[in-house]
């Protein structure tokens, strides 16, 4: 193909792309609402939907009627709180909270969301309560049921800077003074199931796709 033909085709495709972009932004549909106006309205609505629970009124991220009724009960806070507990009966108007664990239903297929939900429900509503209240695994009752912090054997917050020296090496004497590091039961289960997920992925590939 000669140089002139290439330049003509290139200019032709460039013109078509510019025309499509122009039509997408400025062309009006039969209803009279252009795509640009629809995009702007959707942008404003999504911004307002997030800014209210995310910045102006953060309580909407976790509406727990159980915590309101039994405000002085530690067990009720552990069961009903959507921030530091199991979130039973808790409601939210924050879209980021809805899509944080179960992914966004706008971009993920239903079977993927259902699969994640089943695993999430088993861990949060079955395994965690049994390990915390039923079996008291590794003295789980001494620590919060849901927390990413580290604790001492007495249930106090672990002083991490105290066991690390100026060279970012372990201070064995201070570590022996504070004792072993303990995790909350949910955080420990998350670690355990995370490693199990890696092993199960390899096993799945070997069993179903291995030759």
pLDDT of residue 26: 56
pLDDT of residue 129: 93
pLDDT tens sequence across 67-76: 888 888 888 8
DSSP 183-205: --HHHHHHHHHHHHHHHHHHHHH
pLDDT tens sequence across 26-59: 555 555 677 788 888 888 887 887 787 777 777 7
pLDDT of residue 115: 86
pLDDT of residue 13: 43
DSSP 9-73: HHHHHHHHHHHHHHHHHH-B-TTS-BHHHHHHHHHHHHHHHHHIIIII-GGGG-B-HHHHHTTT-
Low-confidence residues in the chain, pLDDT < 50: 1-13, 15-17
pLDDT of residue 9: 38
pLDDT of residue 7: 39
- Interacting residues of 120 by C-beta distance below 8 A, sequence separation 6+: 101, 102
- Interacting residues of 35 by C-beta distance below 8 A, sequence separation 6+: 24, 25, 26, 27, 29
Domain-wise residue ranges, the chain = 1-59, 60-209
């Amino acid at each position: 193909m000669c140089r002139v033909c290439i330049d003509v085709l290139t200019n032709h495709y460039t013109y078509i792309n510019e025309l499509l972009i122009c039509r997408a932004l400025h062309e009006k549909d039969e209803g009279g609402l252009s795509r640009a106006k629809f995009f702007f309205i959707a942008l404003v609505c999504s911004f307002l939907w997030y800014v209210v629970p995310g910045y102006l009124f953060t309580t909407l991220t976790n509406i727990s009627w159980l915590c309101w009724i039994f405000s002085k009960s530690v067990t009720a806070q552990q069961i009903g709180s959507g921030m530091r507990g199991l979130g039973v009966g808790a409601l939210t108007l924050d879209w980021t909270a809805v899509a944080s664990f179960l992914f966004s239903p706008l971009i993920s297929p239903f079977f993927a969301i259902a699969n994640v939900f089943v695993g999430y429900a088993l861990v949060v509503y079955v395994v965690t309560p049994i390990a915390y209240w039923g079996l008291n695994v590794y003295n789980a009752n001494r620590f919060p049921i849901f927390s990413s912090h580290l604790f001492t054997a007495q249930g106090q917050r672990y002083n991490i800077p105290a066991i690390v020296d100026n060279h970012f090496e372990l201070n064995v004497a201070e570590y022996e003074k504070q004792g072993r590091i303990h995790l909350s039961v949910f955080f420990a289960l998350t670690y355990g199931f995370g490693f199990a997920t890696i092993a199960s992925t390899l096993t799945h590939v070997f069993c179903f796709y291995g030759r």
